[in-house]
Structure formats: structure tokens, C-alpha cells
Structure 1
Amino acid sequence: MTRRRTFLMAGTAVVAGVVAGPLGSATTAAASGTVDGAGAGAPADALPQPTVTLTPVPDTVAGVREPVLSLNGSWSISTEPPAEFWRDDVDTSGWPRVEVPGEPAMQGVDVPQDKEFAYRTKVPVPADFAGQRIVLRFDGVYSDARLWVNGAHVRDHRGGFTSWQADITDHVTPGTEAWVTVGVTDRWQDLSYETFYARHRIGGILGDVRLIALPPGHLSSVHVSTTFDTRYRDAVLGLRLTPAGAGALPVRLVLRDPAGAEVLSRSLTPGGPAQYDIAVTAPLKWDAEHPNLYTLELTAGPEGAESTVTRRVGFRQIEVDGKRLLVNGREVKLRGVAHHQVSPTMGRGATGRWDEQDVRLFKEANVNLIRTSHYPPTEALLDAADRYGMYVEEETAVCWVNQQGHDDLLDDPAFKPDWLGQLAEMVERDRNHACVLIWSMGNENIGWGANPQAQWDYLKAADPSRPAVYSHAETYSTGASYDIFTAHYPDVKGQLGGETAKPSLYDEYAHLPAYNVDDLRTDPGVRTFWGETISRFWPKVHDTYGVVGGAIWGGVDEVFPLPGEVSGTAEWGLVDIWRRQKPEYWLAKKAYSPVRVPDAPLLGQRARTPLTVPVSNWFDFTNLSELTVRWRVGGAQGTMPGIDLKPGASGKLSIPHRSWTQGEVLALDFLDDRERLVDSYALPIGPVAAPAPPRPAGSAPAVEESDTSLTLTGAGFSVAFSRTTGLITRAEYGGTTVLTDGPHLHVRGGYLPPWTFGSISVRQKDASTTVVTISGSHGASPVVFDVTVDGTGLLTTTYTIVKAPPGQPDSGYKELGVRFGAPDGADRIDWRTGSLWSVYPDDHIGRPVGTALAVPQHAGSAYRERPGWSWSQDTHSYFLYGKDDAGRETNDFRALRSAVHTFALTRPDGTGVRVESDGSVAARVDRTPPRWVDDGDPGITYQGAWTHARGEGWTHDDFGDTESFSFTAGDWCEFGFDGTGVEWLGGHGSNLGLIDVFIDGRLDTTVDQYAPAKQYQQVVYRKTGLAEGRHTIRLVVTGEKNPSSSGILPLVDAFQALSATTGAARALFVDTHWNYPDFGYGGGDYYRPTVRVVDGTTGAVSLRLGTFATT
């Protein structure tokens, strides 16, 4: 028999004579205190150390017009402040100005590491603050802060993501101005390790700053808890009130329901910390599907000196029952996403408005859990989560302790105040939020020790109303330090939930494409492929007993467009930094859908009877009758309520009868009570015929031969081959060029030596077809192409790799197929393909039917400017290519389409070529780029003591898994190239230095390769505008470095020559085999079969020349 563990407020909840102790151990007790909430209340248990004062922000204060003043705005800053910079007579007129809140780095101010810099501003203190206590509140200063007011030191603080306050009453005079000075240190060994994580120094005032007036008698603390009886009908509202100062404080309590009607009122008189347990009959419950919020109004103090505090209260109770997580007595499954705070203009700062938008976006994506990786969130996020209905796993700012270069601080007593202080501040500020479901004690720390043990002990004493987790739990043996076992990146093919006897939560899983930089640059379609992972993962998580859920990594791209360069880790979000939906957003929404309908044709439907659609309800609390169903089929449409189907049940949805026609499509939209789209389906009625491979027709083309060429001519078309190369030189339809080159054996993810031509021959195969056979080799690998052409313009190219090439990548090739050259002006693709889902947004690159243009129908946006179009129409990626990115065709145009039925590459009039297939091939279009020359290429000259690394753990994300570097000043490397420009692919890192760049023997610039953490495959230098011809680029180790760097090394990964004609050759790639072996993270994602070449490997692709109707 499993034991249900109920998480209740420590020493507070009195329900049916049972007091819940830590971890829900039940002991019989008399009903202590005042159960109905009247009078002085029961003395509250003392809070564990450390105690934190974070006064509830008042809505009103008697006699004060605005009791809360925002100090956000322009502040002076100095990264080299003078001695005693806090003195009032320090001249700040020459200091630059930055906006608060926000990262200085995002505003062009590079703050130092482990060295104090200073903020200053002059604050008007309103005259009506006289007689009040005056408090300064900061909602995040990274990472260490010292505060002075009018030259007087007030307090210090450590920890960059929690709220803290200072009483400055004795240092200011109402009706005058006051100097506020904050000394800030971006500390490298901050527990959050966040500067390392963000790949740039984030130090600064990141959160709101407020000046607050409080009457002498006010509530310094309000703790709210809610518990239910055994039927989960009636509740107890627990209040722990702490008055400021000595003596009794009159408090008037009013509780209003979600509609604003008064539910109850009480008069209370706490004379010190006091507990009140108030019975509430049958309140509306709060859960992520029904975010019913009550309003608690507390008016404290005598008339004329009172202040009012408002709290939103959600009645809900959290329990662990064996390996299940319960909310209000029902099992919940957490459809999660991990979330970093990112503002496109202010970095980790000023994210409140973005965070609220994120909650709304994730709610619309069927997400019900946000994990606040890896620090506490803004109050705006929690307020929105309360309102919209979103569970939150709230994490304290402890990350990567004992790994990634972060010191082992697990047992260091000097850091215990840091571990506990920010944890206590997080709990004190956020414990009253109904949305906070789980406390997390840190992220991916290796091992256990006295400091995390102190965190555990504190949580179990301060707020055992919620379960707690710790990561990495698998790196230590004790099981007493978490209520839910968390693990990261399980294998989609593996067994889930068997790690411990406790529930399992995979609060990082199904990693989005992020580190496979070559894929992301080449093929945006890799993002559509991620849908194969999450569509398999979520049903497995949902159906596995003991697994409470998972959190997709990640929510928002971790990209920081600094003024000088782009920083960050990866474009790993469901949305980008501007909150535009990326392809993965819809794929997550579909996989997480709680309305489960088989996305397949409806078979066995009879005319003039209702259409029946099988449906399952994967909501935790919602009956499908609460939803609205919109349906469309043929010319008919309608709206109907959802069927009566309880959570976890399956049934049949009936659409009103009419005369159905086989081949029609039933469109279904399911909308929730706020008219948000939950899911959509497009279900064919009757069987759908599979696409058939194209078949030859017409009369075999005529053949015309000369000494230099071989030309086939048919009805309205011709194809000319060179006798010198064996390749197509020109294919025409209706007099218009549709191909300029090919066939070429295409492999991506490996190297093929250049093509060496052998022979070409032609023969008529049958009455409809003529075959051109081309033989040659790529190095030691002979290859034969048979190009079969029929009388209508169908070209079927069969390749045979007679002998497999040596040196194939261990993980296999990414693409194997045939490449053809396409002419300028072929700027449109139209396609029909198979797809994972039947419904996609009109601008989604994975839609099964669509049109994409190479050139976007909009004007471009500059670096650090918000794009005014969807992600699919992007032509630039400043993260992947640097802030000087020159651009390319749209993401929609370049994305690989798999399971191709037809894929036409045409001019605007529809003339071009069309891939035709039974769904077994994939196709994409791109420019044929200049070849990246890897750092180990013999064409690069190295002088000095260079190290050439390959296959190391730290080179895995480099181009070609290699990099070169030197420790010696004066060493150099040189690359000669033909063209009008060059790019140097390098990187940034904590031990990299200043590198001189010479073009044609003249110093062009010095590149600083320093960053707090390593960034791979970065275009660190780009030169254009050279005269067409031969040039050189030389990189010289200067021996100098950024003051924050630990070394002088260069990082050389690859070079690429540019030309005025670079990219003019458009290419059509048709793949018979494809995979993304570098996809994902941790190896747990879904992969297609490995693409390997053996002797005799063969494949065939078909193209039709013609003029095609556009879709």
C-alpha cells in the first residue's frame, strides 16, 4: 500500500484535529488557536534561520498619495569608479547613463569581472512619506551589491536574482532628494554561475527598483496556505501574520471570490507572529486548467494610519501518493518547458513584460509547467502563471556546482550563507503563489554536501507544503534529500520511471536542435524533424506510471544581441528572443495536446449517418464538455459543445449527419473556455491512396551527338550533356533553362574528393526511354549514374557507388543523394509531402502543402531590431553568422522537405523541374556555398608551435570536430584564397586572447576572442570588398588578452573564401537517405537509421521538366 504524503504549511494547518508536520507525518492534536480566525490567533512557530524580511508591498497607505514609487529609468554608471564613490560630493556628470533595470552589457557598457563598479541616481523622496518607514526594494542585482544612501552605508547583499530590501528611513528626509549608490560586483564564483552560463558578463541591476512608504504599524510578513478536507470540498485558509514592531496590530481581513463577491471578513489582532486557520466552505479550486483566484485584502493599522495589502489566493493542495503527484487529490502530468529570462534589448534584465508574454505563449502551446531555469523568476511571471493557470517549478540560483569549471562549494562553510540566503528570499517572496508547485534546490550540481543539506532542512521547516527536488540527484546515494527524483535527457527509446521508489520528473528532456551548428546553418528543416522526438516522448511520459512529467529544453532562445557582437549559448527555444514562434512551438503544442484524436483517415463511415471520431481526454481536471468544437467538411460547418468525457477517458465525437463524400476532409478545432485553440485536425473521410512512383511515358527522346556534347530531345524539352565532364550543361523546357548542372553525388556530413570523369554513353532502353550512363569517380570510389529520360521530360537518375569511400563519419552521413544545378530566377518552390501532423499553421516550414519564395516579401530589419514577419521568412541569423550576417534565402525556401510526393523548383511562371516520388525521398534548395576549409587542411600554413586537436570532448561542437591553437606570441597561420572576401570561423572562450588579422600583409584589425564560456563555430571575422583575385589572411598571436581572459590562445576552426559571384549557383538536392546524427543533446532524441555507404550502394531520384500549376 502506498503512503500518501501531503505537503502542508509547517505548523499551521488545522484540519479535523490533525496537524501536518514536516513531510506530512500526521500526529493527533487538539485544534489549537482560533480555528474561525477571530481574535489574536495562535502563536506561530518560529521560522527557521535564516529569517528574511521582505515586507508585502502595500496597495494603499493612509495619507500617502503613491506609496510605491518606481525608480526604474536612467542611472549613472561607472566601471572605474573613484575611491569612496558613494560620497555625495563625487562628481558623476561624466559617467555614462544606462537604463535600470537591464544589463549594462546590452547597453554597450562592458562591466568588469570580480571588480566593483558603481551605479548612482538621485531620488526625490515625496513629502507625504514623512512619518512613514521608508524602504528601498531591489528585485535583483547581479551578483553582489553594496548600498549607500546619502553617503551612508545601509547594507550588503549577495545573490543576483532574488528580491531584497533596506530600511532607509534614518538616511533620508521627505520632501528632499537623496543619493542612492549601489556598488555591484559580477562575481565569477557566484553560485548561479550565470555570467559563465550567459557567455557574457551580465552584472548589473537586473530587476525593478522601488521606493516604498510603510506606516509604523504594518504587516512585515504574510504567509498564506490552503488545505482541503478528505473530500476536497471544504478548505482551511491558513494565515501566518507577522506585524512590524511590538504590540497588537488591528487587521481587517476580507476574502473575495473570483467574481469579486465577498466570501468572508474577519477582524484580527496579532500581537506578534500569529497563526489563523479560517474555514472556507466549498471554495472554487485552483489548478492549471481552472485558475480560480480569490482576492485576500488585509488592512492593517488603526484608522488614519492603516495600509492595505492584497494577495491573490488559489485554493489548492499538493500531495505525493507513492509515485504519483497530486493536486487537489487528482494525479497531474506535467507538460513542461524550461524557461530562461531573456529580453532582446536588456538581456537577463527588464524581462517582466516578456515573462508575462511567455506564460501566455506557453499556455497556448498546451504547456502546463514552467521550470524557472536556473534562478527565481520575476514576479510578473508568477503573477501571470497564477492568472493563466501554469504550474511552476521554481529554482534557486545554484547551478553547475562542482562541474564546468565551477568550484566544489558543496561543503564550503563560507558559502553556506549564499546557499541559504537566496533560497530563503525566494521562498519568502513567492510562497503565496498558487502556481508554485515544486521548489528546486539547484541545477546539475555534482554530488551532495552540507550546503545542499542545509537547503533541504530549511525547505522542510520553512515550507513543507510543496515537494522539493535537487539536480543531479543521480550523482549521490541518499534519497532523503528530494521528494521527486529529477533526471535530465532520458532516452526516448529507453525505460522511464524506474530510477527510484519516488516519482520521477524529467525537467530537461527532448532538447531542441541547438549545438548541431552545421545542420542549423544548412537546413532549417532540422527543426521540423524535432517533432519526431517530442511526438514519441510525451505519450511515453504520459503513460508511464511514476513519471510525473517533463520539461522541454528550452523555452526561449538563449541569445544576447550585444551592441558589439552576439553572445549566448544556442537558439534552443520554442520561440526566439522576439517571441516569434519557431517551428518547434507548433510541434510541442501538437505533442502536448490533451485532446487526442488519431490523426488518420476516418474509415468505415456511412453516408447520411453521423461521422464518428474517436477521442481521448488527456486533461487532468477538464471534462471535454467544457470545450467547444468547430467542424468543417465540404460546404458545411458548425459549432458544438465537446462531449461529456472525463479526464483519462476515451469516447466518440459525433458530427451531425449529412451526405458524406469519400475523399472529403473533416476539419476539427477544439477550443477551451477562453477560446484558445487546444488542437486542430484535418481527417480525410475514407482511405487515402499512397503516392505512386512516376512511370515513363511518351516516345523515347531523340539523340543528337557531337564531339563535345550529347543532347536528348523530347516533347518541348531538351537535355544536353558534356562529353568532357559527363554532366548536364543545360536542360530546357519550352525554351527556358531549368537545369544547369548535374547529376552530382551528394553527401553531407562527410568529404568526397572532386569528381573525376570517366566515360559517357547513350542507349535507347525501350519505346519510352533513353538512358545516358555516366561513369567516373570521387577519389578511390567509382560512381555510375544512369539518367533515364522519357518522352515527356521525366528524368530518373540512378546512382551506384561501386566502391564505398573511405573515412566515413562514425555517426554516418547526414544526406546521401543527387545534386543538380538550377538557374537564376528559380526562386519558388511548391510541394506536397507526407507530414507528422495533418494541420500546421500557414507559415510553418513543416506544412505538407505549400509555396515558399527565396526572396522575402518584406524589407529587412537591422541587427537588434524586431523583425516584422514570421520566423519562416527570416533570411538572417545573427547568432549563427554574426552581427554582420549578409543573409541568404528564406528559412521556408531552404528547409528540407521529407516524404516528398512532389517538389517543384520553378520560375514565377511555373516553368522548372519537379521532383516526383512515392514519399521515399527528401528535397531542398540552397546556394552552393564555397567550401569551408577546415583548420587541418594542408592549404593552411602554420608557423610556430601550434596544436591541432581532433576528436576531443571539447572539440565535438567545432567544425569537423577539430580546432587549432597556439600558446606562443608571434606564432601565425595563413590561408590563401581566390575571391573578394574571406570569413574566419573560430570561437570565443575564457582562455582566448587578442589576435591580429592581416589581409594581404597589412594589419586590418585585432579580434578579441574572449568570452566567459566557450562558443563554437562563430564567424569571428569577415572581410569583403576586396578586388577579385588572389589574397591572403594571416592570424598572428599577439600574446595579449582581454583583462578577464585567462589565456592568449587563438582558436582557428575553418576559413571560407567569398566572391562577388559566391552563391550564384543555386542547387537542388534530392536525398534518398537522410538523418540528423548530431541532432539533440544527451543522445536521447529520435534519429532516423544511420546513413552508411557500402560497396554497391544505390538510389534513384526522379525529376520532371515542365510548366507546373502552383499550389
Structure 2
Amino acid sequence: MKIFINTAAGNGHDTWQLAVRWMMTEEDTGGSDRAAQNADFIRIRIEDAADSADETAPEVISQTEYLLCGSGGTFRVQIKGVRPWSPADPVLYTADILLSFRGREIKVRERVGFRSIEKRGNKVFWNGEQMKLKGICFREKPGMTEDELYRVLMMFKEADINYLRSIYGPFGRTMLCLCDELGFWVEDTAPLYGVGDSRPATQNSPAHLESDYMGPFRRMTEESFSHVSILLWSLGHDCIWGRNFRKMYEYIKGLDDTRLINFHLPMTIPAEEPQMDVWSVNYIDWRQPADEHYDQMVIFHTQGAHNEIGYATGRAEDYTMPALHDIYAPAPCRSLDEIERDPGIREFWGESLKRHWEKMESMPGCLGGAILAAIDEEGVVLDGKGAEIPEIRDIKWGILDAGHNPKPEYFHVKMVYREHPAFVKKELPGEAVVTNGIYEYYFSRESCLMTGAYVKKAKILDGGPYLQATRLKLEKWQGMGLEILTAGPGINKGAALVKMRGSYGNVCDIEFTMTLSPDGKIRTEYEVLKLSAFMPHTVKAGIGLDPGGLDERGLAFRTAGKMEKFSWEREGLWDWYPQGHPGAGTGSAAAAEKEAFHSMKHHIRRAFISRQEDGAMIRVHSDGSHSVRLEEWPDDRMVIDDRDSRIVYEGNWLQMDDGCGNYMDTETMSARAGDKAVCRFKGTGIAVYGPTDIICGKCDVILDGRTAAVEISQYPKPVEFMTMSRGYEKRYRVCLFHVSGLEYKEHLLEIKVRGDKEAGAQDTYTSIDYFVVESPEYPVSQRLIINNDFNYARLVQGNYMNDKVALKAGIKEGCTISIGRERQEWKV
């Protein structure tokens, strides 16, 4: 007696159906009548599939006993309390079946999974979710051990392959058990190859029906029927349709109407015959739609000019079944002279695979596909009946070599198929979180900006996006609206769309739009909704003309902590640069290399900044239209404004307002000798910032009672006057004094007014804008600046400069970055 187990969705919520079907053999019936199905009694027991090393008894999920009356060969029972099987979560249970037949008990123990398959037009749903098969064609070589199969399947699992298509014959029981356990959908193929094509046309011959068709197919389906991983039955490989294939189709549909049926050359099936559940497409050109029902591209390559690929192609336009590309993007193996000349073809193939899959993934009517092929072949290759297939002898078509080791092609498959969970939105007090378990983004409801971006719990970004508009004094940001969408028009599968709206005071209103892809890519765009400020004027410098406008226009993000390395590839001015040149077309710089690390890299193709400690990385994508630079950005808690109570002023200090460039629009000034500004701070260093101007004089700095610097001048350097315009001599936020490497404790800093000045200065003022304290508690981060346009407006003196860079109402532009922690995938 043959016993088959199948599962399906049950009649209620969280209910599943287990179907037990039995089929008598000649031994059971005493003759040749396999249709006699009478049985007396059945008992079904479902348990957790306990590990053999687990000493605890498995939990009994369900136990049913039923007295069978009359004829009939199928019994169905409703079961609750089980989790469904899927490649992402391959949950198995143990089913003990006891069937009583004519007083004889027949026992079967199988590992089963619960699932439902539903066909809706040109889509297929597994457990209610639309399927997309990320597959590979796999020939199970004779003699492969269970350990070898397990190792190969684990490599496929690591590459996010979820579908295995057997070629030239079916998989063995060990292979199918591993597919159940590890989580792969399987297309099991009957041992029929090339019938009516490269081999004799026996498809309509009654003499061959049982021996070549029904017998082998019956054995295959009976062996594999109870395996939950079986998704498709394939009636043959490269065969022409005929009566015998129809008999196979009718047999399996009568045994199982839940799984999908496939035939490799469906265009050979007449319209009057039963059609398959999927439409098999092979060797499609990457430019063709992936959801069309094309004839096989390997047949009748008739030269034509009526389509973009230049071939006349048959199509079945009236069918609604999904298209399955059960052979696509074959690995480079046929053009041996090309491979010998340049093995780089193996790298280029990755682009073909990427283009194919992006199209297949984006089209709902495409069920997916299987790459050709899994493992290199050495020597003779046999079909499912043991006959040689001469055209594929010694063929290196695999993503693994014959020893089951990954080839370069394996990496491409891993990158193309890699899966990232979809984003979901969560609400927390005062903030919203967008997460898919790998990437997490936090957004403030108050500021309406991102406050943190994480990869695998490592913080990569600490804030953003911000408008970068150097030379334009932006007022404090005020959030006006935050909207987060994880589904809807224009949002790709698994992605999230975040709109952040606000204003920089009375300067401009901005809307930032972030598209978060599930693989860590972030596309950020900004639109200027309203602009109330004027651009810096075009004015005459000492020598030359300052074109006015901005020095930078783009976006900025705040890094979490200090990045240590900056690497880039860009369109350089010259084809060759000496090693270590900060403007090299390809190069890298450590943070200690100040000039190379902080200088803007113009016209980048890609750039990376990285941190050694946790492998954190940010990649900037571009086509050469963006320019990137980094600047230090202290923690706001470490900035002491001139009006802060921690600064004590002794003497005749004046509090002044100046909104043209000062921090917080203020400064504190004194021109009287002996006046002091005293600040107590706890840290390992401090920097003093103030303006330079023609009315400024000199000061001294005393640190912890000792003179640290004398005669610090705030008068502009004489060389600067050549690039200044009259009335624009004042320069803001200039570092007047800096010390680091101090013991981490409380220190006392004094700024002492000298009351003297340099020749040419018109007064003796010392002016303080703000201090920045260095502390291990609040490390300095960086501002990652990605500019869409830039200029160096003070180069003047007859030099070339770019055209005036302006910010305008209605302007829309942006940049794309990726965050990650996988350095080995992002090396320049």
C-alpha cells in the first residue's frame, strides 16, 4: 500500500488541513486493480519534530482516530496549533499514520510541513503571500553523499536561493528530505529528455506509455509526494508534447490538484489540450518583458527585424498563467575562446544576472526563474534514464566548481538574490522608528528629522538630512511635518518613504524626502518650497570679482562618532596623480591626514567613509555629478556659547548681536587691557572661536594658571585683503586657539585682553563667539557633505571659478548613500 500526505489551508483562522491518501498495490488487492481503496480504520498523530538529541518527549499537536466506512482513498483532518512551512521558516512536524486494511495494520512515519498553494490568475501565493522563485538548475550527481548535499545546499541558502529545479531527472529521497529541512522550493523533473527534439519521438506511441512515461513518472511522484518542499511537477526536459505526456498530466492532477504542473516546451501543446499551471520560458533576452508567454528562444531562431532583439518570437497572448524562467542567465561556459582570452567575462556576467533579476522581480506576472546552473560537470553527463547527453560533457556551467567550491559567479548570485525584510513603522514616545530588523531609522516628531540610522545595532548616522548652503546664514530649523509610508504608489516592495517638512526660520521652507530601501540604500531629495533670503551678492574684491552665491549647495548628514578612513573614486583633472595626492582620481586618507581627509573630492563616482571598530561604512553613489567632503562636527553639548553662564566676564565686556555669521548670532567684546573671560570646563581639550575684523586687536590665553598662547591677533591676515570686498572684511567662526591631549578633568581657561593691536587695525577689541570642549563622553562626529553644486567664490584674482551657485524656490535635487557594516563588499 502506498500512503501519501499532503497539506492545505484549513476551514478557519489558524487551521490547517492534513490529507492522507492511500493507494493499493497489486499485493494488497490480489490482482491488478489499483483503484480499490477500501480501508477500515485510520489513526493520525502529529508531533513536534523533536531533535534526536533532545531527551524530552515531543509535544503532541493532534491525535485523531476515525472509523472508515465504504470506499474512498483520502481522509482529511483539520489541525490547529501548527506553524506553516516556508523557505524562510521551514517548520516540520512528525506525522504518524496507522491505517487498518482488511485487519492488517500499515504504519507510516513522515516529516511533514503545513502549507497552502493558491493560484490567482498569473500569480501564485504560498501561505497567502505572493511567491517569487530565486532559483538555480541543479543536477544531483550520482553518488553524492548526504554530507556533500548538505554542504552544497547550505551554500545555496547563504546565497538566498529558495528554489531548486532538477534537470535531466528527479531528485533522490535524501535530497528532498534536506530541502524540507533547510527550506527550498523544488521543481522535480521526470526522467524524460529531448523527446521529439534531439531524441526519438515516442510521445504519441502506446508501446512506450508505461515503460518510458507512466512507470518512471509514477515512481518519481510516489517517492516525493509527501515532501512539503515539492512545489512543481515537471513532465520532462526539452520535450515535444504528445499523448503520453497528457496521460502523465492527468495522472498527477488526479493524485494532487494543489501543486503546479510545468512542461518545458509549452508552445508545443495545442490549444485544445490541457494547459499547464505555469508557462515555461527559457533563454529569454534581458530586454524582453519577463511576464510574457514567449516561445522557447532555443527553437527556430529566425532572423527578423520586428522586435528589439532581432528574432521572430512566438507568443501565447491569451493565457493568464505566470511565466516561469526555468532557464535564464546561463553562466559563461560555451564561448571557450572568449573565456580563454579574457576571464573577465565571468565578472561581466554578473551584470547580465542583475538586469535579468531586477526585471523579473519587478513584474508580478513573473513567478521567478532558475539560473543555469549549479555545479560544474566533469566527464560524461547522463539523463534520468542513464543515457549520455553529449552536448554537456565537461561543462563548466556552475556557480560552484566540480569540487563544490564557490566560483566568482557564486558571489554575483549571492548579491543579486540577497533578501532584506520589508520595513515596518513603529511609534515610540516622541519619535517614529522604521525598521526591518537589520536597518533601523529613528525620526523625531518634534524636529521632523532623522535622529539615528543603525545597521545591526551599530549606529552609523546621528542625524540628518540638513541643507548644505555655505555662505548662506541659515536660521534654526523648525519641524513642520513628518509622514512615513511603507506601502503605496511609487514605493518599491519592502521600502519606506519618509517626508520631512520644516523651515530654516525666515530663510526658506524645505521638504526632505527619504526613500529607504531594504538593502540599506537611502535616496534623499530636497525641494525648496519657499525662499525668503537673498543670495550673497556679486561684489568686487581687492583684485577680481567675487561671483557671489553659495560655495556649496547640497545635503549633509551627521555621522555617529568619528569615521577614520575616507576612500574615493572620482573623475580627476588628470589621468595620473602621484601617490598620496589629495586630489587623486582613486585614493584613500586616514583622519590623521588632515588635508587629504577633509578636502572636497569633486565629481565622485563613489566614495566611502569607514570606522575600524565596528566596520561601519557609508557609501556615496554618484555618476560624477556630486562632490563630497567631511568636516568635524562637535556634539552640541560640548559647545559653550559666549552668553553661557559657564563663562565669567571680568571687566568692561560688551554683548553684541551679529546675525551675519556668528554662532547663535552673538559675540562678546572688550577693548580694555586686563579684561578677562574665564571658563571652567571638564575635558581633554578646548577650542576658542571668534571673528576676525579690522577693529580687532590681540589677546593672551592662560590655561590652568600657565600662559598657553600670547598675542593672538584677531586682525585679518594681510594676505586676505586681496580677496575681500569693501564692507565684507569681517570673517566669522575663526579658530583662535586650540589645545588637546589634556588630562580628563576640570580645567580653567582665561582669555585676557591685551589692549594692543597690529599695524592697520582700527581698534583693540577681543571678540569671543563660542568655545568647543573635547570630551571622551561626547566624541566629535563628522558632517558628511554631499554637494550637487559648488564654487570657490573667493579664489578671484583673475582665476577661473564656476558660475554663481544659487538656491532657488522650486529647486529639487538630492543624493544617494548606502549604510552598512560589510567592508569586504565595499572596498574601493
TM-score scaled by length of structure 2: 0.46
Larger radius of gyration: 2
TM-score scaled by length of structure 1: 0.35
